[in-house]
Amino acid sequence: MKGPLSGVRVLAVSQAIAGPYGSMLLADLGAEVIKIEPPGHGDRSRLFPGPNHEGESYYFLAFNRNKKSITLDLATELGRETFHDLVKMSDVVWDNFRPGVMERLGADYDTLKEINPGIICCSVTGFGSSGPYWDRPSFDLVAQAISGAMSITGEPGGPPLRAGPPISDLVAGMFGVHGVIAALYQRTFTGKGQRVETSLLDGQVSNLTYQMCYYFCGGEVPGPMGSGHLSMVPYGAFKTKEGYLVMGVGWPRLARVLGIEEIIDDPRFADHSLRLEHREELEAIVREAFLKEKAEDWLPVLEVEDIPCGPVNTIDKAVADPQIIHNNMIVGVKHPLGGEVRMVGNPIKMPHSIEEEFTAPPTLGQHNDDILIGLLGYSEERIQRVRGEEEKRAQELLASLERRG
Secondary structure of residue 53 in the 3-state scheme:
strand
Cβ neighbours for 376, distance < 8 A, ≥ 6 positions apart: 82, 85, 86
Please tell me the distance from the alpha carbon of residue 10 to that of residue 268, in angstroms, as a whole number.
59
Q: Positive or negative CA dihedral for 24, 173, 111, 133?
A: negative
Q: Given 43, 73, 140, 169, which residue is catalytic?
A: 169
Let me know the angle formed at the C-alpha of 16 by 69 and 169, rounded to the nearest 5 degrees.
125
Half-sphere exposure of residue 205: CA atoms within 13 angstroms, side-chain side: 10
Let me know the angle formed at the C-alpha of 67 by 65 and 69, rounded to the nearest 5 degrees.
120
66 closest CA partner among 357, 344, 331, 372: 357
Is 265 one of the catalytic residues? Answer: no
Secondary structure of residue 322 in the 3-state scheme:
helix
Q: Note the Cα 308 to chain centre separation in Å.
A: 26
Catalytic residue list: 169
